[in-house]
Amino acid sequence: MLDDVEYQRIYWHSRRGMLELDLVLMPFVENCLRSLDEEDQQRYVRMLECEDQDMFGWFLKRKKPEDKDIARIVELILEHVQQPKS
């Protein structure tokens, strides 16, 4: 599981500087990242290595990641985004 230092590192890498990505990624990190199993956490870290334009396309459902591990974490993020807010 993530220690505080690792969480903060991932948190800051999740800030992309593209508002559309920040609006998707930051709530996911804040609300879900720590509760993911270690494999999904590593998938998230790998996804952060991808290009912003690729992520933008994935989150708008214009295209799907070719890598099945990246596709899994994108799916988890999209599920989080689509959850009704209380």
Ordered structural domains, the chain, with CATH? 4-82 (1.10.150.250)
| Alpha-helical segments (H) within the chain | 4-14, 19-31, 38-48, 52-59, 68-82
Structure tokens at 51: 């290009």
pLDDT over threshold 80, residue 85: no
User: What's the whole-model pTM score?
Assistant: 0.93
**Are the beta carbons of 44 and 33 closer than 8 angstroms?**
yes
How far apart, in whole angstroms, are the C-alpha atoms of residue 74 and residue 6? 21
| Burial (CB count within 10 angstroms: exposed 0-12, middle 13-18, buried 19+), residue 62 | exposed
pLDDT digits (tens, 9 = 90+) for 25-54: 999 999 999 999 999 999 999 999 999 999
Quote the pLDDT of residue 1.
Answer: 76
CA atoms within 13 A on the CB side of 19: 0
